[in-house]
Each structure stands twice: as C-alpha cells, then as structure tokens.
Amino acid sequence: MEKIKNKRILSGIQPTGNLHLGNYLGAIKNWVNLNNDSECLFCIVDLHAITTWPKFDDLNIASREVLAGMIASGVCPKKNTIFIQSHIPEHAELAWIINCVSRIGWLNRMTQFKDKAGKNQEKVSSGLMVYPNLMAADILLYKATHVPTGEDQKQHLELTRDIAHKFNTDVGSEIFPLPEPVIQGPATRVMSLRNGTQKMSKSDISDMTRINLIDCNDTISEKIKKAKTDSGDFPVDKMELEERPEIKNLINIYASISGKNIEQVVENFSSTGFARFKAELTEILINEISPIREVIRELMTESQELDKILDDGSKKASLIAKPVIKEVFDAIGFNKRRDL
C-alpha cells in the first residue's frame, strides 16, 4: 500500500447501518493503512443518507454503528477527525453553490443515479440526483488532496475534479486543489456472494449476499459455504477469472485479507479445489472479523463516548470548513458574513 505523505485525506461513509466486507476491504482498511503521515478526515454522511428518505429514528444509532465499525477496524479517533456531515452547515452551503456550478449533463451521466433510481427516475428525490454535488462539497470544503474509496465512487470523484476545475476557472482563482482518487488493492469492488455481477451492498434485501462486520463466526461460515461458485474446477490461471465473476470475487477477498497476490492464491488452490479454498477463506475471514465484531459490540454499549468523539470531530472539522467557505463566498462576491 503506497503511503500518502503530508496531504489531506478525506473520505465519507453513509450511516446506513452496520458495515459490510465491501466497506471494510474497499475503503476502511485502506484508510487505516494510508494515514500515518497525513491529516485525515472521515465524514459520516447523514445528509447523503436522507436522499432515500430512511426511517429517521435510526440515523443516530446507524451513525454510532458506523463509527464503532471504523474504530474497531483500526481508524484511531485521536489521530483522525471523524465527524457527522450535518453538524457542519458549510457542507450544505457549498453544495448549493456547487449545484450552480455542476451541469445537468454531467449529473445525467452518473451511473450510480441510474442504478439507484432504476425505472423510477421521475419519482426519486431531487436530492438523489444532486447527491454527487454534495459529495464534491464534502471533499472540496476541506481542500482534500486525496480521496480513498472503493471503485463505485470513481465516477463521482472524476466529477468532483471537473467541478473544482470549473469553479476555479469561473472565479479566476485556484481555490480548490483537484483531488486525487485513491482506489487501490485487490478488493476495490467486492461483489455479492450470490451474484458476482452485483456489488456487495447494505441495501440488498438478502443478508446472505454480504458478510457484515458484526456477523458471528457461524454466520460467516454459513455464508461462505453457500457463496455461489460455478460448475467448473478451481481455476489454474488468473486469466480464467474474467469469465468467472463469483470465483474472481472470492479469490479477490482471499487475496485482500491474506496479503497474497491473485496468482499466488490461484496457484495455492488449483490442485486442491474449492472445498479447501472455502475452508481457508472462512478461517481467514473469521480471524479478521471476529476481533472487530467484539470491539464493535463493546463500543456500542458506550454511546456517550461515541457521541463525544463525534462532537470533538465536528469542532475540528469546523475549524477547517469555516475559512474555506469564507474564501468561496468572497470569490463569488457575496456580501461579507459578519460571523466569519
């Protein structure tokens, strides 16, 4: 994992309940590995979560669950700034400005909107359509230089760069750096355990499609046992994986957790087959996840501690956000705000 030095790293995660293996391998594990030498901000994006209008009494608990999952996975709340998006009003302020910079044509190209809206495009909230503008605001408000995410956010990050470039050009000043996407490792796109062409996701109605960080050992074992493979033998060559999405996914997960590369994993199991592979995959998953699960359980009994971490994080984030929004307001020519 390439370390990023002396830069400002920012990433975000929605408070939509417990974290799954995709969040962990695609994003959070990288956050832990990347952040030794740089300032890091991690935002729990509750404003994004309401684009699908969830049950509101769940949002607080869901934010704590995400925080607990992050800490249990190794994100240190002392070294990093972890905060809730809605605590910093400047996110919504900058998002409005970005709504006026970003083009409808750009938003129309966003594949995640098309996936989420499906056939219902006329009926979904307008928030869902401008979701990527809010995401750009999250990043640009802190002048982040690097944004580590899973593969699914790549298009949104490219849009963020276009927005930053257009804003800078329009106001004639290099206010925003163009943030670099950081999408790395063998598990940038962890797929469903039941369908290798669909992303592992919190919103899938079947829990058997994903491994949650709070799953008990028996559940992990059951889910891997039932994970879809195909009728062929274990692959003997990496090239075969392109045609075999379910196998590719399981091998990517194995490689990501074990630190081995894909070729090594294929070579290790090509003579022994799926039964041994699945048994070993189960074992390394349990070794990785069970300590995380236990810490999550413990932390979830300490809600005041968790809320204090988020309050402290908001204070620190606010110190960065306020001067940036002032700079943006000044560049646009808004009348001076007296409280800034």
**Which residues are catalytically annotated?**
116, 199, 202
Q: Can you name the residues that pair with 39 across neighbouring β-strands?
A: 8
The stretch near ligand TYM (CB under 6 A) out of 142-150, 257-265, 302-310, 323-331 is: 142-150
Kindly state the smallest distance separating residue 338's Cβ from ligand TYM, in Å: 30
Quick check: 149 binds ligand TYM (CB under 6 A)? yes
- Return d(Cα 148, Cα 269) in angstroms, integer: 31
Kindly state the smallest distance separating residue 272's Cβ from ligand TYM, in Å: 27
Q: Count the residues in the chain.
A: 340
| Site map (CB under 6 A) of ligand TYM, residues 84-123, x = contact | ----------------------------------------
Looking only at residues 180 through 209 of this chain, which bind ligand TYM when binding is defined by CB under 6 A?
Answer: 188-190, 199-200
Neighbours of 340 (CB within 10 A): 11
Quick check: 310 binds ligand TYM (CB under 6 A)? no
- Return d(Cα 90, Cα 138) in angstroms, integer: 9
Looking only at residues 39 through 68 of this chain, which bind ligand TYM when binding is defined by CB under 6 A?
Answer: 45, 48
| Site map (CB under 6 A) of ligand TYM, residues 11-40, x = contact | xxxx-------xx--xx-------------
Q: What is the DSSP string of 166-207?
A: HHHHHHTS--S--PEEE--STTSSPBPSS-TTSB--TT-S-G
Nearest position to ligand TYM, beta carbon: 26
Our CB check for ligand TYM shows the closer of 2 and 339 to be 2
Our CB check for ligand TYM shows the closer of 14 and 80 to be 14
Nearest to 75 by CA among 30, 16, 22, 138: 30
Assign 3 to helix, strand or coil: coil
- Return d(Cα 67, Cα 84) in angstroms, integer: 10
Cβ neighbours for 212, distance < 8 A, ≥ 6 positions apart:
18, 19, 20, 21
Quick check: 250 binds ligand TYM (CB under 6 A)? no
Quick check: 139 binds ligand TYM (CB under 6 A)? yes
Among 18, 73, 80, 153, binds ligand TYM (CB under 6 A): 153
Kindly state the smallest distance separating residue 50's Cβ from ligand TYM, in Å: 13
Q: For residue 54, which phi and psi values (nearest 5 degrees)?
A: -80, -175
The stretch near ligand TYM (CB under 6 A) out of 74-82, 149-157, 255-263, 298-306 is: 149-157
- Return d(Cα 17, Cα 229) in angstroms, integer: 28
Neighbours of 218 (CB within 10 A): 9
Burial class (CB in 10 A: 0-12, 13-18, 19+), 237: exposed
Residues at the site binding ligand TYM, with contacts judged by CB under 6 A: 10-14, 22-23, 26-27, 45, 48, 135, 138-139, 147, 149-150, 152-153, 188-190, 199-200
